[in-house]
Every structure is written in structure tokens, then in C-alpha cells.
Amino acid sequence: MFVALFVTLFFVVPAMAERVYVAVAANFIGPAKAIAVEFEKETGHQAELSFGATGSFYAQIKHGAPFEVLLAADAELPAKLEQERIAVVGSRFAYAVGRLVLWSPKSGVVDERGEVLKKGGFAHLAVADAKLAPYGAAAQEALTALGLLERLRPKFVRGENIAQTHHFVASGNAELGFVALSQVVKGASATDGSMWMVPAHLYRPIRQEAVLLVRGRHNTAAQAWMDYLQGDQAKAVIRSFGYGF
């Protein structure tokens, strides 16, 4: 009888595990991958992650893309999805507050006060598309506040999302660029290169919200992911990548 019970449990428990399809803002690649690993260990559920620009995901979701959760890089589009009844009303919450940095993979290129933007000496500045990526909008707000937007606009190399923008800088296609702090730090340790932490008063807070989409409202794994993201273990990972709350 014990053997029969063991066999029954062996087949029932895995059958209860489900999969959740999550659209993730490109700045959150590192934390999301780390969280997904621990999420599966803790719950048995699997998170299938897709990365891209928040604006692009919004358009895809509107046209029926099979995502069940959106981790956006802003608060506006999750709210809009709720208003349009494409997301579950009352399900959204802030999972992180992002920070914008000016970064170069080479030491000595970006000074600690960002004076390189005024001095010049570079041909290309990578900036994410402000229409699709909130970090790109934040970069343009900062440049506007500094009175440098129109002067530097001809040097822009535009990335569709912040991951592509980071790639442009890392690959040398742009000498420097505005990226997410999470892309250049891990565990409070900066990667190689030089950077300027853009003062928070130069751009609107990058409040990143998660929202449960209507497609996922009956998926146990989707709700489990939303709950896990708000727990202490996930928050510790998020903090380690330089985000606030």
C-alpha cells in the first residue's frame, strides 16, 4: 500500500506543476533569469521568459501574443492594459525602481559627474528608443534637463530596447551610452569600464510594474510567479542588481 501511495504521489505532484509565459522588460534580464531558477526550485512551476522593449510587448499583447504576465519598465502601460481589460484589474504592483547610468566599457571615458557629455570627444551615444523603452525616455529627459538634447541628438545610436542599447556600447558601436544600472553592476560590484550615475532628479522615477494578464488569470503558475516576485527571496535578487523599491 505504501508503494502504491508513493507511485501515485510521484505522478501527481509533477502533473500539478504548470508553466507561465512572462514578457520581461529588457533591463530586467539578469534578475528575471536568476529569479526564474529559484522560482522553479521553490514551486515546481516553470517561467518561460521573453525579453524586449515594454512598448513592443504592449503592442504584441494587444494583438493576442500568448503572454500571461508582463514585467514592464514603467507603470503607464500596465495601467493602460488594466483600463483596456487586457490585464486583471487590481493585479499590478511595483516590483522595482530602476536607475539610469551613462556607461562606457572603457575606463576613464565617463567621469563621475558626466562632464563628458558637455566636453564631447565621442562620435556616438547609444540611447534606447524613447517611444518603446522607458529608459530611453528617461535618458532624453535627463539630456533635456541638462540642455544637451539637441546638441547630442545627431550622435544618437538608437536601440530598440535597453538590451540592444547596452550591446551597442559593449560592442564598440558607440563609445558610451545610457543604460540601466542593473546591466553594469551585480552584487554592488561594477563591471569593467566607467560610469556616471545619472542624478534621479533629472528624470521621472522609473517605476517598474508587474501585471497579471487576463490570459493568465486561471493559471496557477502565473499567480505563483506574481506572489513569488513580491517575496523576500526575489527582492534580495532584485536589490543585488542595483534596483530600489
What CA–CA distance (Å, rounded) separates 4 from 22? 37
- Domains 2-97+205-240 and 98-202 agree in fold: yes
C-alpha cell at 61: 499583447
Mean pLDDT by groups of 10 residues along the chain of 245 residues: 39 64 96 98 98 96 97 97 98 98 96 96 97 96 98 97 96 97 72 90 97 97 98 96 93
3-class secondary structure, 160: coil
3-class secondary structure, 105: coil
**Can you tell me which residue has the cell 516553470?**
46
Of 24, 127, 34, 32, nearest to 73 by C-alpha is 24
What CA–CA distance (Å, rounded) separates 169 from 126? 7
Task: Spell out the domain ranges in the chain.
Answer: 2-97+205-240, 98-202
Task: Please tell me the class of the 98-202 domain.
Answer: alpha beta
Q: Do residues 166 and 191 lie in contact, with contact meaning Cβ atoms separated by under 8 Å?
A: no
Q: What integer pLDDT is reported at residue 180 of this predicted model?
A: 96
Q: What integer pLDDT is reported at residue 191 of this predicted model?
A: 60
Q: Which residues pair with 207 in a beta bridge?
A: 97
What CA–CA distance (Å, rounded) separates 242 from 185? 7
- Contacts with 232 (C-beta within 8 Å, 6 or more apart), sequence order: none
C-alpha cell at 195: 560610469
Q: Classify domain 2-97+205-240 at the CATH topology level.
A: D-Maltodextrin-Binding Protein; domain 2 (3.40.190)
> Residue 172: exposed, middle, or buried by beta-carbon count in 10 A (0-12, 13-18, 19+)?
exposed
Q: What integer pLDDT is reported at residue 185 of this predicted model?
A: 86
Q: What integer pLDDT is reported at residue 192 of this predicted model?
A: 74
Q: What integer pLDDT is reported at residue 3 of this predicted model?
A: 39
